[in-house]
Chains A and B, each alone.
Chain A
Amino acid sequence: MADPSLSILVIDENRARAAIIEAGLREAGHSHVTLVHSLTGLARRVEEAAPDVIVIDLENPGRDMLEHMFQLSRAVRRPVAMFVDRSDSDAIARAVEAGVSAYVVDGLRQERVKPILDMAVSRFNAYARLTRELEAARDELEGRKVVDRAKRFLMKQKRITEDEAYALLRRTAMNRNRRIVEIAQSLLTAADLLGDDL
């Protein structure tokens, strides 16, 4: 159940990911959401937002600074502690695995915060998956280019057709139990080392 009265601060230098978290929070009915992308003036931003919940990515170099601010509890009205559900150690591991951490002001009941952290964890994971898929697509494209170059090289060297060049690559890959793109890459590397014109 979303609790629209909560003020939530999202600290993430990655603007795209922060926007995805923000969208998730708004979809869940949270209207008091503030995004911070830079460490400059962080103390003032925290003070202004007076957050009940802070969501921060684990790669953020400002975490030590933030935790110290909470200890001093000068920049915030009430003491803030890292959100740790001690009855559910898997929840901590899942959050760290996803790369996200949350802090809550003292006195907030766990069930009010848990859905926010769960949402952040799933969106962080979705973002990571998306990034991986993009990389895989890029690798795939690169792979196709490598195979094309290897084919052209074989066609020129052995005076064979494109189909024959591809068949040769595929046969070699099968014999050596490797992927076609790996065979193509080693062929190109070898040719490069030997100074052959590609």
Chain B
Amino acid sequence: MTHRIAAGFLPLLDSALLVTAQARGFAAAEGVDLLLLPETSWATLRDRLAVGQMQVAHMLGPLPIAGNLGLWPLPARTVVPMALGLGGNAVTVSNALWTLMAREGATPDLAPAPNGRALRAVVARRARDGWARLRFGVVHPHSGHNYELRYWLAACGLDPSRDVEIAVLPPSFMPEALVAGTLDGFCAGEPWNTAAVLRGAGRIATVKAAIWRNSPEKVLAAEATWADRNPEALDALLRALHRASLWCAEPANQAELAALLAERIGCPPDWLRPALAGEILAGPGLTTRVPDFFVPQASAATFPWKSHALWFYSQMVRWGQVVPGPEAAAAARESYRPDLWRRALRPLGVAQPAANAKVEGALDRPTPVGSTGPSLVLGPDGFFDGQRFDPDSLDAYIATQAGSSTAHEA
């Protein structure tokens, strides 16, 4: 029996699993007739998912949580049965800002702490001289991009809500915005950081993989009623995506994957290679090796950890997007569904994490963890400032974090 599934996506590096599942026949092999619908905004992806024009969508990890917390303008219930990889983002700054940061000690090695210190010094100097605040772009208020940019700035002693301005812009517009001077920096996924560097529009200051290694980014969101009523179709799709993740992780397939994605994004394959090879072009001729820049498969990269959902929730609270409470925390936790991941992949004999949540930031080296089936090694998952997030101490974590100076600002 064939399962017909319409999947919405934004053409980006981390749509790789969906694109590959369709283009390389993994979906068809699982009996899924996968219709990929490209969109140009998360808002439209959200709306089409909510009204049932698509059953699943490639989504920013925090977005389904926001929906289940009632932050979407239209009623919908969404579940996350799978993540679509780890990492993949970077922070790029304009050439002018980079020059100022370099004077304050920033280096092209992408290290968040020294480069953040340099940025803080630039911000302080500008404030003293009465200049306008620097403006950074992110792709959406409920995005990993917004939260990791704010996390980095805050950990470096800046107040992201007061010391800089954070605007929302589609990622494909960001390189031009640096050139036009309407943005001084941005946090976006690939290929838009590499595009900015290759066009001479800016320099990569740091990467998501250095701010929080092996951290969550895009997920597969499924309309909850459809997921409830069509377990076989959902399981088949998850198996196809798992097979796609194995294919994407194979270095021999990098060139073909770059070509597949480039065709959908409408860019040269060269723009995808740095992210896929983990060799980031920080500036002209300056390549830095970032092994876990984008992780499609290793470290249980597709497992929807409840601790990832709860970390996103902690940042929504931190930046005044949601009023905290036990019900809200429970809704965030229930948005991610490792049980669905397990149900679909168990027949394949895939290594399954023994737990549904973990202490984030506890691993400083590749570490074997408890699993059923084959053994499982998780990569290092440290935050650059050495902090840990224990999902069992959610309220304590929220309490220790410096928050927004103006509530409900983001």
* Interface positions of A (Cβ within 8 A of B): 39, 58-65, 67-69, 71-72, 81-82, 84, 86, 89, 92-93, 96-97, 101
B141 and A60 form a contact (CB under 8 A): no
Q: Which residues of chain B in 111-157 are interfacial with respect to chain A, using CB atoms and an 8 Å cutoff?
A: 139-141
Residues B139 and A93 in contact, CB atoms below 8 Å apart = no
> Which of the residues A71, A72, A96 comes within 8 Å of B53, measured between beta carbons?
A96
Q: Which 10 A-B pairs have the closest CB atoms?
A: A82-B73, A68-B168, A63-B43, A63-B41, A61-B40, A61-B170, A93-B51, A58-B44, A96-B51, A65-B168
CB-CB < 8 A to A89: which residues of B?
75
Known: A71-B141, A72-B409, A81-B73. A63 touches B44 (CB 8 A): yes
User: With a CB–CB cut-off of 8 A, which chain A residues contact B40?
Assistant: 59-61
Taken together as a complex, chains A and B put the C-alpha atoms of A65 and B140 apart, in Å, by: 8
How many residue pairs, one in A and one in B, have C-beta atoms under 8 Å apart?
A: 65
Query: Do B169 and A84 touch across chains, with their CB atoms under 8 A apart?
Result: no
Query: B residues within 8 Å of A by Cβ?
Result: 39-44, 47-48, 50-53, 73-75, 139-141, 167-170, 172-173, 409-410
B139 pairs with A64, CB closer than 8 A: yes
A93 close to B52 (CB less than 8 A) = yes
Known: A60-B41, A101-B47. 8 other contacts (CB 8 A): A58-B47, A59-B40, A61-B170, A64-B41, A64-B140, A64-B170, A68-B141, A96-B50
Contacts of B139 in A (CB 8 A): 64
B310: shortest Cβ distance to chain A, in Å?
A: 23
Q: Which residue from chain A places its CB closest to the CB of B170 in the assembled complex?
A: A61
Instruction: List residues of chain A with CB within 8 A of the CB of B47.
Output: 58, 92, 96, 101
B51, A86: Cβ atoms closer than 8 Å: no
Contact A68 B44 (CB under 8 A): no
> Which residues of chain A come closer than 8 Å to B39, judged between CB atoms?
59
Question: What would be 21 A-B contacts, judged by CB atoms less than 8 Å apart?
Answer: A58-B47, A58-B48, A60-B41, A61-B170, A62-B41, A62-B170, A64-B42, A64-B43, A65-B167, A65-B169, A68-B167, A68-B168, A81-B73, A84-B74, A86-B75, A92-B51, A92-B74, A96-B51, A96-B53, A97-B53, A101-B44
Complex Cα distance, B43 from A84, in Å, reads 14
Residue of A nearest to B141 (CB): A68
Q: How far is the CB of A109 from chain B (nearest CB, A)?
A: 18
